[in-house]
Structure 1
Amino acid sequence: MKKAINIGLALSFVASGAFAQSLDDAKAAIKQEQYAKAKGILQNLVKNDSKEGDNYYYLGSIYLTSGYPDSAKMVFDQGIAADSKNQINKVGIGALQFLDGNASAAETTFKEVEDDIKRRDYEELLEIGKSYLRGENPDYNKAIEYLNKAKEKEDEDAAIFLQLGNAYFGLGDNSNAYVNYRDATSLDNSLINAQVQMAVISKEAYAFPEASSSLKEIASQHPNFAPTYRELAETYYLWSRRSTTVEDYDAKLQEALEHYKKYMDLTDYSLDSRMRYADFLILAKDYETLEVQANEMAKIDKMNPRILRYLGYAAYENGNYQESKRGIEEFMAKVEPERLIPRDYMFLGLADLRLATDTTLATPDEALMSEAVANLEKSVKADSLIAEDLNEIGMEIFKAGQYGAAAKVFEVATMNSESKNYVVDLFYLGYANYFDYVTRINDEIKPDKALLEKADAAFAKVTEEVPTTEAAYLYRAKATRLLDDAETPEGLFVPHYEKYIEVVTEKGDDAVNQNKQSLIEAYNVNGAFYSMNDEYEKARENFRSTLELDPANEYAAQALENLQPAQQPAQ
């Protein structure tokens, strides 16, 4: 989840206006996540004070964090050439090596920096610690090691404690994270980032009311501090996913979107800021706004491949599946594999699924269906929360009567056992497989009984998870009845019908009345089986139970009449 929603880490790159020309001003803008402003300041500083290495470092860091490593390296190299005695740009080179997966080279570079700095210098150690917090695979322990070295030299710089808090937070050690965020705030009460991070700890612990309350308090005290609104947006987004009603979900999602809009208003609307916004709109499923933003981005830079991603996503949601497939495949072909995200595979898979099951086709396109499922599986393996989004798609396809396709969607959805829809998806996995079989049972080419076996397994899992789910017992009985030998049945269905009867009966008269017809089915089918196997008393019990529910039931009445009289005990 952290990877999926950490959209605030992306940066923007368009300089604008005339800005104050100091490094402190640039750092302040970075704290506010006003990256376009920070970049403009740093570009001017590099131009007007070309001998100061720190200017290059912070400019290169913006490129580095944004995912433009080549530009970052060029700036770091320029910084080393301009200010060879300043080791800070060499830290940037080490950060590049670390992000490139070459941890040993990065460690060597960082060690050289450490050996070359003056006895009381600590900023380089702080930046090395921050470097280990970058990317998809941070090394939190290494970060803590270097940050503690920085703290040994300077124990009154709040920035060190802020980054220590981030490192412990990444390790899941919220207690130490909170202590360091608190110490950072004590050292510098203007360091709003640390206050925000203390609230974020509550968010990560799913204490959404507490997190939102704390963040709103910070926003009331510092209304122009943009990151607070981004965190509020993410808090309400996560909170919405825990909602139990549609109304609550919609309300929280709307508040999330309003907070993110506020964040955008306080930062900028450059291309890359719009991309950050677009990433959040995708999570919030606001595809109408996404399409607007994608078209605005296209006006700024038609050549940027990420715009194809957004247009592809929006096209899918607007029902233009071929256009969606074209846009996403073109995007994937233009960018490096490491820049692809799980939702790229999800939307490509969904577009292929829709095309494969187009109702104008004589039969579903099985080859395209296989590609669709493979991409959906890839997306869920990379981001398990995507499984929750598949429920809505599976239900829509199921209701359209495309049971085979629906079963494949639900099968992928059940890959995440922690999904809030897990049990429902399991049930519909069984349900879809069952109906895929029974709706084709009279076809010239008979459906594979493996569908019934999959249905049986899914219903069995549902009853393990929620033993009071009567429908799972009922449809497990129906599936196993079809699996059983029609001429000489073994009674595979009998225990499932009996469990169905037991669960419904225990729920009381209302449940019995709601399930009346299915209970009659269960009693009659089991009664017939017992009768065929000479278990006459059990047969009678079932047929009598049917007649208690429906005294006019002809089948039960006739069956009861035809049963042999009970043997009398010997005199």
Structure 2
Amino acid sequence: MKMISKISKIVLALTLVGSSVFAQSIADAKKAIDAEQFQKAKSMLKNLTVTQPTKDENFFYLGWVYILQEYPDSAKTNFQKGIAVNPKSALNYAGLGAAAFLDKDRATATTNFNQAVALAGKDSKPYLYVGEAYLLNDVDGKVPAADANAAIAVLTKGKTVNPKDAEILVALGDALRTQSKNTEALSNYQSALELDPKLAHAKVATGVIWKYANNFESSENEFKAALAIDPNYGPAYREWAETDIRWALSDPKMASAKVKEGADNYRKYLSLTDLSVESRLRYADFLLYAGDYKTLQTEAQALSSAANGNLKVYRYLGYAGYENKDYPAGLTAMNTWITKADPKRIIPRDYVYLGRLQLASKQDSLGVASLRKAIDVDTTQVDVYPEIAKALYGQKKYAEAGDAYHVFTQKGRNVKLLDHFYEGVSYYFYVSYNDKIPNADAYIAKADSAFSYVTQKAPSDPNAYLYRARVNELKDKDRNNIVGYAKPFYEKYIETTNAKGGTPTDKVKKELAEAYVYLATFAEFKEKDSAKTLENYTKARDNDPTNKQVVAYFARKGGGAGKAK
């Protein structure tokens, strides 16, 4: 792959430049961190921890780079070194809290955050990084409300400590933005720019607000403004690329142009970073977001062979394997990721893809278990219920399939009428294929309710009427004492089918025959109306002369199925 070759060359060039060229100061290291040049920042900071081993902030910022790269253990090691140098290092306690937060150890995180704030005094930076830590669980621009509110609270205190800390204002804007408090967020970004007009980060953050509001032109203008401040500010190109993809997904007319522009902008971002494994992993995230699974698989395969590889590449190989229908490779990769990665790094979507790959590999029981695991880990993953239901339906576990569809129809985000329909079909099959069910009436009621919903929403569609009729027919257990529960629904099926016009298919003809046979049976045994019985059996015969009940009826009449006497 040409891109990988270029990456290798640039990495080599960076290596040859040597760390001695870079200015060895905290200010320059922080600038590199902000520009997402993490390898460069680490090189500087490792050098500073050697040349200035008594400065606790050197260890903090080195640890913070590891936090941003999601290596909490390495981060924790450096924060502890910072505390060893200065037991009252508020920054490093904030760092320990962040590491615990990444490890999902909320109690330890809170203890360390409180200690950081207690030691901060008039220094606003510990407040900044406690606030930033609470925002680490950002998923597509959203953070759990409790975490965002905690960030807002501590950053507001930091703002009080130092109203002129522009970084605090940007972080506060970020926290507010995750809760869609965009007006307040914009106010903080503007205040930050008034303090520091060259703060490219604030311009980019403003652009992100417009991105999530789907105001793409305004978003692009902010990214261009950030690049006018600093033409080499990589995060502006990254956010611009992600905005391009969101634009492409929102506007089909712009899709082709914006996907191409997005790829170009991301390549610019990569060229401005240090092209570390972590930067390329972020590129993989972009490809995943863009839905470019073929390129994702190629890039992940290249990353998997890198000497300093990261297990996370197996997640991408698993996802791409499924989407590219390379199921054996995908399943092997996902099993590697699930079994070897730190359990804290496993996310619900990993179990979703593992389940999908298992189902695609005919490992149905394992697949259903994995999809259920995704829901156990995160109850909001309701959109996997149709996949669970479909697998259970294929295994003829109809009651469980119906229950899965029911949960989805009640709680899902993108529920279709077809989901309600299959809910009803699943319950219907459960009762109709099992003679001895102690609570059959309850399942009949569930099926009837599902089909009733479909007929209300799509009153001209015959299919739900047919199945509602079949379900209600199950209530008439004694043909000699027929009530006729199914009668109005078979009549509605006939009405809506005939209203469609045209020549019915062979399948529809058989279904029409079924409906007329039921009406004939009702007329014969309930209404005692022989003329109506003959009329309905005749209509049934016109649609399907091979119907067994039709054949039996006309045989009783002595004329066979072909002629009545």
- Measured on the aligned residues, the alpha-carbon RMSD in Å equals 4.9
Distance 1:414 1:254 in 2: 41
Matches within 5 A, 1:551-570: none
Q: Report if the CA contact (8 A) 1:63-1:71 is conserved.
A: yes
Distance 1:335 1:299 in 2: 17
1:410–1:347 Cα change, 3 Å: farther
Match of residue 8 from structure 2: none
Q: Report if the CA contact (8 A) 1:181-1:194 is conserved.
A: yes
2:464 to 465, 472, 478: 472
Instruction: Specify the code of the residue in structure 2 equivalent to 1:154.
Output: N
How many residues of Structure 1 are paired with residues of Structure 2 in the alignment? 519
Q: Report if the CA contact (8 A) 2:88-2:119 is conserved.
A: no
Matches within 5 A, 1:280-291: 280-291=286-297
Match of residue 352 from structure 2: 346
2:370 to 359, 363, 375: 375
Distance 1:105 1:521 in 2: 70
1:143 to 151, 175, 186: 151
1:332–1:190 Cα change, 3 Å: same
3-state SS of paired residue (2:361): helix
1:70 to 67, 70, 73: 73
1:226 to 213, 220, 234: 234
**1:493 paired to 2:495:** no
3-state SS of paired residue (2:164): coil
Q: Which moved more, 1:384-393 or 1:59-68?
A: 384-393
3-state SS of paired residue (2:223): helix
Q: Report if the CA contact (8 A) 1:376-1:412 is conserved.
A: no
Matches within 5 A, 1:106-505: 106-118=109-121, 120-135=122-137, 139-204=147-212, 207-208=213-214, 210=215, 212-221=216-225, 222=227, 224-235=232-243, 260-301=266-307, 304-356=310-362, 368-380=363-375, 382=377, 404=396, 415-416=407-408, 417-420=411-414, 422-428=416-422, 430=424, 458-463=450-455, 469-478=461-470, 480-481=472-473, 485=477, 487=479, 490-500=483-493
Q: 1:380 Cα shift?
A: 4.7
1:527 to 519, 526, 531: 519
Instruction: Specify the code of the residue in structure 1 equivalent to 2:164.
Output: E
Match of residue 27 from structure 2: 24
Matches within 5 A, 1:40-119: 40-82=43-85, 86-100=89-103, 103=106, 105-118=108-121
1:526–1:382 Cα change, 3 Å: same
Instruction: Specify the code of the residue in structure 1 equivalent to 2:417.
Output: V
1:418–1:265 Cα change, 3 Å: farther
1:552–1:427 Cα change, 3 Å: closer
3-state SS of paired residue (1:300): coil
1:116–1:342 Cα change, 3 Å: closer
1:295–1:322 Cα change, 3 Å: closer
1:404–1:541 Cα change, 3 Å: same
Q: 1:299 Cα shift?
A: 2.0
Distance 1:406 1:257 in 2: 46
Gaps of at least 5 residues in structure 1 are: 1-11, 357-367, 564-571
Q: Which moved more, 1:178-187 or 1:317-326?
A: 317-326
Match of residue 7 from structure 1: none
Distance 1:84 1:163 in 2: 27
Distance 1:538 1:384 in 2: 58
Q: Report if the CA contact (8 A) 2:424-2:450 is conserved.
A: yes
Q: Report if the CA contact (8 A) 2:520-2:533 is conserved.
A: no
Q: Report if the CA contact (8 A) 2:319-2:330 is conserved.
A: yes
Deviation sequence 1:236-263 (CA, Å, 0-9, x none): 65667778x8x88888777666654554
The structure whose RCO (Cα within 8 Å, separation 6+) is larger is 1
Match of residue 567 from structure 1: none
Deviation sequence 1:166-208 (CA, Å, 0-9, x none): 222344434433332333334333333333333434544xx42
Instruction: Specify the code of the residue in structure 2 equivalent to 1:70.
Output: D
Instruction: Specify the code of the residue in structure 2 equivalent to 1:339.
Output: R
Q: Report if the CA contact (8 A) 2:516-2:536 is conserved.
A: no
Deviation sequence 1:401-455 (CA, Å, 0-9, x none): 95859998897577444433533334355567878999xx8xxx99999899576
Q: 1:78 Cα shift?
A: 2.3
Distance 2:250 2:315 in 1: 28
Q: 1:61 Cα shift?
A: 0.7
Alignment TM-score, normalising by the size of structure 1:
0.72
Distance 1:546 1:186 in 2: 86
3-state SS of paired residue (1:281): helix
Instruction: Specify the code of the residue in structure 2 equivalent to 1:219.
Output: F
Q: 1:340 Cα shift?
A: 0.7
Deviation sequence 1:277-302 (CA, Å, 0-9, x none): 33343444433212211221122147
Gaps of at least 5 residues in structure 2 are: 1-10, 139-143, 558-565
Match of residue 40 from structure 2: 37
Alignment TM-score, normalising by the size of structure 2:
0.73
Distance 1:495 1:160 in 2: 68
Instruction: Specify the code of the residue in structure 2 equivalent to 1:313.
Output: Y
3-state SS of paired residue (1:139): helix
Q: 1:58 Cα shift?
A: 1.3
Deviation sequence 1:46-69 (CA, Å, 0-9, x none): 333333332221110111233222
Distance 2:23 2:81 in 1: 23
3-state SS of paired residue (2:197): coil
Deviation sequence 1:505-524 (CA, Å, 0-9, x none): 8xxx6x34487846845762
Match of residue 6 from structure 1: none
1:394–1:268 Cα change, 3 Å: farther
Distance 1:474 1:175 in 2: 53
Distance 1:30 1:430 in 2: 55
Q: Report if the CA contact (8 A) 1:373-1:409 is conserved.
A: no
Distance 1:437 1:116 in 2: 67
